[in-house]
Structure 1
Amino acid sequence: MKQTTIKKRVELSSYCWIISALSTALMCGVFIYALKQPDNEWAVCILGVAIALLFLFTLCYMPLSISLDNESLNINRSLKIKSIPLTEIANVKLCAPTMGAKRICGSGGWFGWYGWFSEKNLDKYFAYYGKASDCFLVTLKNGKKYMLGCKDAPEMVNAINEKINQ
């Protein structure tokens, strides 16, 4: 079988860009202000570590692109690639998250949406997306669900369905 790879970029919504830029600017401003205060070494260290950890978690989970090859569906992140073998996928369909989605643990727009979410009609799922309008739901045979998003989501969904139905 010929090896084919499809790769689509995750695009962030305007909301994500605004929230990310404002939050980052605010954190930098508070950090710079704390640096200028006398006798504040411990506070500066704690604040610096907290900001570094926040950005580290972002680098670990923020989705950059979604790719598909003959063996797996891949969520490409800055520091790691999450691979889902095609043999484990039961169903893939276009599905945007609703406004009723509850964040259990994760980011609600800071450099995208990633982490655990819950919705009444979908139950619990792990999300990796930048725009709600670009989303699709991947359900595994073991019941786990992933809300993924990328540019040209309908094309990606069709490509995944073709591969899992071969």
Structure 2
Amino acid sequence: MMKKRVELSTYCWIISALSTAFICGVFLYALQRPDNNLAVWISGAAIIMLFFSTLCYMPLSISLDSGSLNINRPLKIKSIPLSDIAEVRLCPPTMGAKRICGSGGWFGWYGWFSEKGLGKYFAYYGKASDCFLVTLKNGKKYMLGCKDAPEMVNAIKEKINQ
């Protein structure tokens, strides 16, 4: 079994820290105002939903076992059977990638993106320079990223060619 950690870029760390501090500041401000009961409930619910979505999708690591490629997230593991993989190659996203729905740097990049030349894909990565593209036989695409991406790509290729 091979397991590689997803490392967040400096941009991700800065965006995540500043956004979290801002969100907490707004919530604490709303808590101090006795006449803002509705605002406290609404902002509290929004914060819970925001952090819950992060826990559901934020990639922590990518692992490879005998039968599947796994995207390890805080609350769930997304497994892709090796038999479903048509192609895997190093492929960092471009500056032209458009976010359809997901995070653009808040605790990583995850969600649906679209790019000229690649089309629509689901992303799970922390640094654009660590990315590789997994294309399934049914046409679905995943942009994944982890430390030592070339090593992971070679290991996946070895497994799918056996």
Could you say whether these structures have the same fold, taking a TM-score greater than 0.5 normalized by the shorter chain as the test?
A: yes
Superposition TM-score, scaled by structure 2 size: 1.00
Matched, 1:69 2:65: yes
Matched, 1:157 2:161: no
Tell me the residue number matched to 1:17. Answer: 13
1:126 counterpart SS class: strand
Please report how far the alpha carbon of residue 39 of structure 1 lies from its aligned counterpart in structure 2 after TM superposition.
1.4
- C-alpha separation in 2, matches of 1:164 and 1:157: 11
Q: Deviations over 1:14-58 (max 9, x none)?
A: 000000000000000000000001211111011001001000000
- C-alpha separation in 2, matches of 1:41 and 1:67: 45
Correspondence for 1:58 among 49, 54, 61: 54
Tell me the residue number matched to 1:83. Answer: 79
- C-alpha separation in 2, matches of 1:39 and 1:134: 48
Tell me the residue number matched to 2:138. Answer: 142
- C-alpha separation in 2, matches of 1:124 and 1:42: 39
- C-alpha separation in 2, matches of 1:42 and 1:122: 44
Q: Which runs of structure 2 are paired with 1:73-152 in the superposition (5 Å)?
A: 73-152=69-148
2:60 counterpart SS class: strand
Matched, 1:31 2:27: yes
Q: Following TM superposition, where does structure 1 have runs of at least 4 consecutive aligned residues deviating by more than 4 angstroms? A: none
Amino acid at match of 1:107: S
Please report how far the alpha carbon of residue 86 of structure 1 lies from its aligned counterpart in structure 2 after TM superposition.
0.2
Aligned pair count reads 162
Amino acid at match of 1:71: G
Amino acid at match of 1:131: K
- C-alpha separation in 2, matches of 1:114 and 1:122: 16
Aligned-residue sequence identity (percent) comes to: 83
2:35 counterpart SS class: coil
